[in-house]
Amino acid sequence: MIAHAATRILLGERLGRPPEGLRFTRGRWGKPVVADAPGLHFSLSHSGDLALLAVAPRPVGVDVELVRSGRDVDRVARRFFPHQERELVARGGHPAFARLWTRKEACVKAAGGRLTEGMALPVAHAATHATVHAPAPGGLTGPWRVADLPLPGESEEYAGSVALLGDGPFNVSRGVWYPIAPRDSHPAPREQGVK
């Protein structure tokens, strides 16, 4: 609930509109879009106690995943990932799987597609930014420029990635949105916002 409220507030600030006045529509596979704001693209993801919001002038996708030890990542990788990525997961375990997964999901979200279409995307790269191309025509339309995100606390508890449609470079500007409970705002009033 907090992530969705923060999204509305931050998009309203970006557009110079009151947050409660924003209207959202959905694309073919459910990706939300702000109505009457054709130059604004955004993506929201949350996992555990962390949420990420990406805002860009071109189609964007963002994903964050809590690194979970209860998931059989080897089985998922063997079934869906390209050969090189299966080996990375076999060696690197849950953190490697989460990193690859967030890259794939960010590309899918940028394309406005379905996750099943993105499992074969070859996202195993050593650079912090890389261009990802779809392996075969007929699936998702790319390419995407993908970046791993440094997350608060630099913890390995989470993995996060952002992808923008196209292969043009981009910069990531970080901000932390923090809610402040009314009881914490006295005696010096503070507002919710980006730090």
pLDDT-derived band of residue 195, with 50, 70 and 90 as boundaries? very low
- Domain contains 176: no
- Spatial contact of 158 and 66, defined as CB atoms under 8 Å apart: yes
pLDDT in tens, 50-61: 899 999 999 999
In this structure, what DSSP letter does residue 170 have?
-
How many structural domains comprise the chain? 1
pLDDT value of residue 180: 61
Helix (H, G, I), strand (E, B) or coil at 94: helix
pLDDT of 115 reads 85
**Is residue 194 one of the residues assigned to a domain?**
no
Sheet with 60-66: list strands edge to edge: 60-66, 158-165, 144-148, 129-132
Q: Is residue 95 part of a domain?
A: yes
pLDDT tens-digit profile of 67-115? Answer: 877 779 999 999 999 999 999 999 999 999 999 999 999 999 999 888 8
Q: What is the pLDDT of residue 92?
A: 93
Kindly state whether residue 188 falls inside one of the protein's structural domains: no
Residue 68 lies in a domain: yes
Q: Please report the pLDDT score of residue 100 as a whole number.
A: 96
How high is the pLDDT of residue 149?
A: 92
Is residue 73 situated within a structural domain? yes
Q: Looking only at Cα atoms, what is the longest distance across the chain? A: 60
Angstrom distance (rounded) from CA 124 to CA 161: 13
Q: Is the pLDDT of residue 189 over 70?
A: no
Predicted confidence (pLDDT) at residue 191 exceeds the cutoff of 50: no
- The pLDDT tens digits of the residues spanning 146-158 come to 999 988 765 678 9
Confidence at residue 128, expressed as pLDDT on a 0 to 100 scale: 80
Instruction: Look at residue 185 and tell me whether its pLDDT is greater than 80.
Output: no
pLDDT at 190: 41
Residue entry with tokens 């994903």 = 63
- In this prediction, residue 37 carries a pLDDT of 92
* 111 domain residue, yes or no: yes
126-179: per-residue pLDDT in tens?
A: 888 899 998 776 678 889 999 999 887 656 789 999 999 999 989 888 877 766
User: Which residue range forms the structural domain that includes residue 142?
Assistant: 2-170
Mean pLDDT of the chain: 86
3-class SS at 90? helix
How do 158-165 and 144-148 pair as beta strands?
A: antiparallel
